[in-house]
Structure 1
Amino acid sequence: MIGYITVGTNDLQRAMAFYDALFGSVGLSRLIEMPNIAGWGSNWDKPIFGVAKPFDGSPATPGNGTMIALGQRTRAKVRTLHAKALELGGKDEGPPGVRGAESSQAFYAAYVRDLDGNKLCFYSVGPGEDG
């Protein structure tokens, strides 16, 4: 049901460099770039993550309580994205780990804020790589 989501930025070039490197670390690339928006994904028939300068011209601010959760196939990709976001200047909001009980439906997640303060969650569901 989700076609795309966007988070706001006040510096599109800086945001594009951050997300090119972040998503590139797990094999995703930029699919669209226009004067005020850019978006990343695996292809056009899957959801796209975008950053945009606000249409109304007001400064972009992170939404309090707003979070974008980006599902991954493996826990290793969750760890890769979390580490890469921190390396790129993002802020840690919760290190990689299981939230709740380890099980066949375990929720493994890590949380960061991007350079504009937008909160992201990288997660995978299922048992660890060893089980």
Structure 2
Amino acid sequence: MLDHVGILVADWNKAKAFYDAAFAPLGITLLNEVPVEFTGGVKVGGYGKEGPDFWLTEATETGPGRHYAFRTETRADVDAFYTAALAAGGTDNGAPGLREHYHPTYYGAFVIDPDGNNIEAVCHAPG
């Protein structure tokens, strides 16, 4: 249904460092940085596996509270994301574990990024 999404970040370098580290266990990397000549001097970049699906745009007003969940293949990927995101400066918002109230096989972990967004890794595969 969605082709891509984006969030606003207050500090491009801090956000980039966070997402580079948090996404590394999931195989997600920064695939595209839009030249500042085309953005009016604003730093913009897209993360993904095959194409840029999750975009960061540097801005003065970020508006925390958004939620984004990234699907993983294994529960170990969820655990690795959580560990990497915390080490990169994220804040715990729900340790890795089953969330059976959502679905019997829903295994997820939640981290608040440096701009206040709730970032999740989730695996739907059975244990």
Q: Indicate whether the TM-score tops 0.5.
A: yes
Q: Secondary structure at the match of 1:85?
A: helix
Which of the two has greater helix per residue? 2
Q: Secondary structure at the match of 2:123?
A: strand
1:121 aligns with 2:126: no
After the TM superposition, which residues 1-131 of structure 1 pair with which residues of structure 2 at under 5 Å, given as runs?
A: 1-34=1-34, 35=36, 36-44=43-51, 48-54=53-59, 58-63=60-65, 66-100=66-100, 106-128=105-127
Q: In structure 2, how many angstroms separate the alpha carbons of the residues matched to 1:7 and 1:59?
A: 11
The one-character-per-residue Cα deviations of 1:38-93 (angstroms, maximum 9, x if unpaired) are: 1111112xx61121124xxx421213xx3101111110000000110000110000
- Report how many aligned residue pairs link the two structures: 119
The one-character-per-residue Cα deviations of 1:93-125 (angstroms, maximum 9, x if unpaired) are: 000000117x8x510011010111111111010
Structure 1: which amino acid aligns with 2:88?
L
Between 5-14 and 85-94, the greater mean CA deviation after superposition: 5-14
Instruction: Give the alignment's TM-score, normalised by structure 1.
Output: 0.82
Deviation of residue 31 (structure 1)? 0.9
Unaligned runs of 5+ in 1: none
Between 28-37 and 83-92, the greater mean CA deviation after superposition: 28-37
Unaligned runs of 5+ in 2: 37-42
**Identity level (%):** 34
Structure 1 segments of 4+ aligned residues over 6 angstroms from their partners: none
Instruction: Give the alignment's TM-score, normalised by structure 2.
Output: 0.84
Q: Is the 8 A contact 2:17 2:88 kept in 1?
A: no
Q: Secondary structure at the match of 2:63?
A: coil
